[in-house]
């Protein structure tokens, strides 16, 4: 039975966590590790950090809470500001680890790290799980990722008909007390990750705080206390305030809550409170999230290339001043500027805003869409590799949009911000 190691990445939760549950089931003793990989905080070629301060703070909060929740199970979470391939082999040797459990990843940077760790531990068993999906890859009605449809609706309809969302995996039983290691590792603070402390902007759409318990608090508010879920489809294109959408994205992105858990909570709400088009629509959006994961599974590194998954040659330009002006809210479009102010000040932007600033950057200014996507990667609190690059491709004309739409920014502003309330909030301060 020996000792199992749970290597946490974007699955920072104890509920519905197969890697954690399997390690607890298969071993007398389990310990856990999280690495603040310095590569994730490096400065990109565009001059901004790969992970910016909003996500860094959210991540620290998530890890603090995960460590506490694991301690209640008598599992120590060791944390390091090191590359996984440097520290995991050492931990594996010191603690005579028999097997390493983790969430499966497939995008290039993540899989390179996994390979590097595996190469250093040829005699250790590695067990990985696809735990970021709503529809598990083993359950979807496609034999191979290469036949995933290009169009979302086709994918959604077939999956909705044929796939049953799996049950949540229970939180494991507490391990005996004697298993708790004396944990001398330290969780870095913002300063150690290269950032200054900062206060949340009072205009933020949501007072985001990292951690699994915080995700469940948001479910409690949005579903059960205010019942806003029952209006979701009608409000989801909003721009201001806490409740126009679920605001679950940041916790979903780092795995503090699973899509499967949210699904079952929606079903419970539908049984106990109300079932309507709005409650269904949150599931519809979670399926979008899955879709982009399947697209990256199907297309690999094409999602990061200029021609995208269509391998399309368009007339792209790149001008540093344009990038600076777009980032600093100094474009000709007030609606774009307001949204860019919001993301710079809070790390969050509504879905409507994201579509518009993306379309303006890629289709109006015809600038290399990857620079815009890289800026979002840096600054977003809810950055998710698949959703970010997939949506950027989609709105830039090199992805899955069958209609290849370009947004008319002025009419979007008139429609979604008719009284300039949103633009005034961000531009008049
Ligand atoms: P809700 O409207 O409450 O939706 C519920 C959940 O469904 C979201 O939390 C999210 O997980 C999922 N979802 C909703 N819309 C989408 C979508 N279009 N694509 C994929 N999943 C979706 N979302 C991210 O989580 N991370 C990103 O890095 C990201 N980058 C984006 C970049 C661009 C250019 C665009 C247009 C969209 C991007 N999105 C991204 C999708 C979407 O804008 C956010 O998920 C959403 O605004 C988050 O707010 P919410 O949780 O309140 O969403």
Residue 197: strand, helix, or coil: coil
Which residue, judged by its Cα, is nearest atom 4 of ligand 1? 285
| CA separation for the pair 204, 20 (Å, rounded) | 34
Q: Is the dihedral of CA 404, 408, 411, 413 positive or negative?
A: positive
| 297's tokens | 């599974």
Q: Residue 223's CB: how many other CB atoms inside 10 A? A: 22
| CA separation for the pair 183, 68 (Å, rounded) | 12
Q: Which of 387, 390, 397, 398 to mutate to test the pocket of ligand 1 (most atoms within 8 A of CB)?
A: 387
| 139's tokens | 């359950």
Q: Is the pLDDT of residue 177 over 80?
A: no
| CA separation for the pair 52, 196 (Å, rounded) | 11
- Which atom of ligand 1 lies closest to the CA of 286? 7
Instruction: Check residue 402 and give its pLDDT.
Output: 83
| Residue 191, Cβ density class (10 Å: 0-12 exposed, 13-18 middle, ≥19 buried) | exposed
Q: What distance in angstroms lies between residue 388's CA and the mean position of ligand 1's atoms?
A: 8
**8-state DSSP, 178:** G
> What pLDDT digit, counting tens, does each position of 67-109 carry?
999 999 999 999 999 999 999 999 999 999 999 999 999 999 9
Q: What is the CA radius of gyration of the chain?
A: 22
Are 92 and 119 spatial neighbours (Cβ–Cβ below 8 Å)?
Answer: no
Distances (CA, A) of 58 to 77, 388, 401: 17, 18, 31
> What pLDDT digit, counting tens, does each position of 118-173 carry?
999 999 999 999 999 999 999 999 999 999 999 999 999 999 999 999 999 999 99
Which residue, judged by its Cα, is nearest atom 29 of ligand 1? 388
On average, the pLDDT of the chain sits at 96
Please give the helix or strand (H or E) that residue 28 lies within, else none. none
Q: Which of 351, 369, 377, 378 to mutate to test the pocket of ligand 1 (most atoms within 8 A of CB)?
A: 351
User: Helix 369-379 and helix 351-359: axis angle, to 10°?
Assistant: 150
Percent of the chain's residues with pLDDT above 90: 93
| CA separation for the pair 27, 5 (Å, rounded) | 9
Q: What distance in angstroms lies between residue 125's CA and the mean position of ligand 1's atoms?
A: 35
| CA separation for the pair 341, 176 (Å, rounded) | 50
> What pLDDT digit, counting tens, does each position of 376-429 carry?
999 999 999 999 999 999 999 999 888 888 999 999 999 999 999 999 999 986
292 confidence band (pLDDT: 50, 70, 90): very high
Instruction: Check residue 72 and give its pLDDT.
Output: 94
Q: Is the pLDDT of residue 179 over 60?
A: no
Task: Calculate mean pLDDT across residues 179-185.
Answer: 74
The answer for residues whose C-beta is within 8 angstroms of residue 378's C-beta and 6 or more apart is 44, 48, 49, 50, 51, 52
Are 294 and 386 spatial neighbours (Cβ–Cβ below 8 Å)?
Answer: no
Which residue, judged by its Cα, is nearest atom 49 of ligand 1? 247
| CA separation for the pair 88, 114 (Å, rounded) | 11
Distances (CA, A) of 73 to 2, 11, 173, 254, 259: 17, 17, 7, 21, 23
Lowest mean pLDDT among 222-231, 267-276, 313-322: 313-322
- Domains of the chain with CATH codes: 1-131 (3.40.50.620), 132-165+212-299 (1.25.40.80), 305-427 (1.10.579.10)
- Which atom of ligand 1 lies closest to the CA of 385? 28
| CA separation for the pair 208, 66 (Å, rounded) | 16
Q: Is the dihedral of CA 86, 88, 90, 93 positive or negative?
A: negative
Instruction: Check residue 185 and give its pLDDT.
Output: 86
Q: What distance in angstroms lies between residue 247's CA and the mean position of ligand 1's atoms?
A: 9
Q: What distance in angstroms lies between residue 26's CA and the mean position of ligand 1's atoms?
A: 36
Sheet holding 125-129, edge to edge: 77-80, 29-35, 3-8, 97-103, 125-129
Q: Residue 406's CB: how many other CB atoms inside 10 A? A: 13
Q: Is the pLDDT of residue 178 over 70?
A: no
Please give the helix or strand (H or E) that residue 8 lies within, else none. strand 3-8
Q: What distance in angstroms lies between residue 319's CA and the mean position of ligand 1's atoms?
A: 28
Q: What distance in angstroms lies between residue 24's CA and the mean position of ligand 1's atoms?
A: 33
Q: Residue 384's CB: how many other CB atoms inside 10 A? A: 22
Q: What distance in angstroms lies between residue 366's CA and the mean position of ligand 1's atoms?
A: 23
Instruction: Check residue 181 and give its pLDDT.
Output: 73
Instruction: Check residue 180 and give its pLDDT.
Output: 65
Ligand 1 interacting residues, C-beta cut-off 6 A: 236, 245-249, 252-253, 282, 285-286, 288-289, 292, 350-351, 354-355, 358, 376, 380, 382-384, 387-388, 391-392, 395
């Amino acid at each position: 039975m020996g000792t199992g190691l749970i290597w946490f990445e974007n699955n920072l939760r104890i509920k519905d966590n197969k890697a954690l549950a399997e390690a607890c089931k298969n071993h007398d003793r389990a310990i856990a590790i999280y690495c603040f990989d310095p590569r994730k905080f490096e400065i990109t070629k565009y001059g901004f950090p790969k992970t910016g301060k909003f996500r860094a703070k959210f991540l620290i909060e998530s890890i603090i809470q995960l460590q506490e929740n694991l301690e209640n199970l008598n599992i120590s979470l060791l944390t390091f500001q090191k590359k996984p391939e440097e520290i995991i082999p050492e931990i594996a040797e010191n603690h005579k680890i028999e097997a390493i459990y983790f969430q499966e990843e497939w995008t290039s940077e993540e899989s390179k790290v996994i390979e590097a760790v595996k190469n250093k531990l040829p005699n250790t068993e590695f067990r990985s799980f696809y735990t970021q999906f709503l529809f598990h890859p083993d359950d979807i009605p496609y034999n191979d990722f290469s036949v995933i449809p290009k169009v979302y609706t086709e994918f959604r309809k077939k999956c909705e008909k044929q796939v049953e969302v799996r049950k949540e995996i229970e939180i494991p039983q507490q391990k005996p007390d004697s298993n708790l290691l004396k944990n001398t590792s330290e969780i870095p603070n913002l300063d150690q990750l290269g950032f200054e402390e900062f206060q949340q902007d009072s205009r933020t759409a949501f007072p985001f705080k990292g951690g699994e318990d915080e995700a469940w608090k948001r479910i409690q508010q949005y579903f059960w206390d205010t019942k806003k879920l029952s209006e979701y489809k009608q409000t989801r294109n909003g721009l201001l305030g806490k409740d126009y959408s679920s605001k679950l994205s940041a916790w979903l992105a780092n795995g503090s809550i699973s899509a499967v858990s949210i699904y079952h909570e929606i079903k419970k709400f539908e049984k106990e409170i109300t079932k309507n088009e709005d409650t269904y629509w949150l599931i519809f959006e979670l399926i979008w999230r899955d879709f982009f994961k399947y697209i990256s599974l199907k297309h690999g590194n094409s999602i990061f290339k200029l021609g995208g998954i269509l391998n399309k040659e368009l007339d792209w330009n790149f001008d540093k001043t344009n990038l600076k002006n777009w980032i600093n809210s100094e474009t000709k479009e007030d609606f774009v500027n307001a949204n860019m102010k919001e993301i710079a000040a809070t790390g969050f932007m509504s879905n409507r805003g994201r579509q518009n600033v993306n379309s303006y950057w890629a289709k109006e200014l015809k600038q290399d869409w990857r620079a815009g996507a890289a800026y979002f990667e840096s600054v977003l609190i809810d950055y998710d590799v698949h959703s970010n690059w997939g949506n950027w491709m989609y709105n830039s004309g090199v992805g899955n949009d069958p209609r290849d739409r370009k947004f008319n920014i002025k009419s979007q502003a008139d429609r979604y911000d008719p009284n300039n309330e949103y633009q005034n909030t961000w531009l008049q301060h």
